[in-house]
């Protein structure tokens, strides 16, 4: 009788352990699928075009994989902008060689650090805060405007599932410390 109870207890514990392991494996697979979907959306959306600094090769500029989505380099120097180049019947915008800084009637905007660095990237953000920023066009969901050329209005049309996937992917990449400058208003150009 006692041996039967021990066997039942052991079988029960083994069943619980196997169910927990299966649940964890399923959760891990789901997270992996979410990250993969986010990577697809980030690549399809061209996020690297502005948010990843470039290396200049004989074939032209290519994204610097070592600085993936780290934004405008804190150490980069921008040239002087000629006065009177932006306006009606003139150019609408100029960009730095690596496309991480943009100059237009709004001033100068710098591509944000989207890596999970806690101090300079989105490491301290929650998924809810990220989604709110993408829906409202406001930095941190309530701060300053997210400036051109960031197409936040297109991202606002994505489902919560897609925005969660993008956020999960961004949280999965290498954290890079890079303090991107604050935008410059038009009068400071």
- Residue 90 — very low, low, confident or very high, per pLDDT cuts 50/70/90? confident
Q: Report the pLDDT value the prediction gives residue 17, as an integer from 0 to 100.
A: 58
- Residue 189 — very low, low, confident or very high, per pLDDT cuts 50/70/90? very low
Q: Where are the domains of the chain?
A: 30-181
Distance (Å, rounded) from C-alpha 127 to C-alpha 141?
11
> What is the mean predicted confidence (pLDDT) over 60-88?
91
List the single range of 25-29, 62-66, 73-77, 164-168 with lowest mean pLDDT.
25-29
List the single range of 9-13, 35-39, 173-177 with lowest mean pLDDT.
9-13
pLDDT for 91 beyond 70: yes
């Amino acid at each position: 009788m006692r041996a039967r109870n021990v066997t039942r207890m052991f079988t029960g514990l083994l069943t619980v352990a196997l169910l927990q392991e299966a649940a964890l494996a399923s959760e891990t697979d789901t997270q992996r699928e979410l990250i993969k979907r986010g990577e697809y959306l980030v690549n399809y959306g061209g996020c690297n075009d502005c948010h990843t600094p470039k290396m200049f090769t004989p074939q032209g500029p290519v994204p610097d994989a070592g600085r993936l989505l780290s934004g405008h380099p804190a150490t980069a120097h921008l040239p002087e902008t000629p006065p009177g180049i932006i306006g009606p019947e003139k150019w609408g915008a100029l960009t730095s060689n690596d496309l991480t800084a943009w100059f237009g009637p709004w001033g100068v905007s710098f591509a944000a650090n989207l890596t999970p660095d806690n101090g300079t990237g989105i490491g301290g953000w929650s998924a809810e805060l990220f989604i709110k920023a993408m829906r409202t066009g406001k930095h941190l969901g309530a701060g300053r405007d997210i400036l051109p050329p960031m197409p936040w209005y297109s991202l606002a049309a994505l489902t919560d599932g897609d925005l969660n996937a993008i956020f999960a992917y961004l949280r999965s990449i290498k954290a890079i410390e890079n303090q991107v400058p604050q935008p410059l208003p038009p009068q400071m150009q």
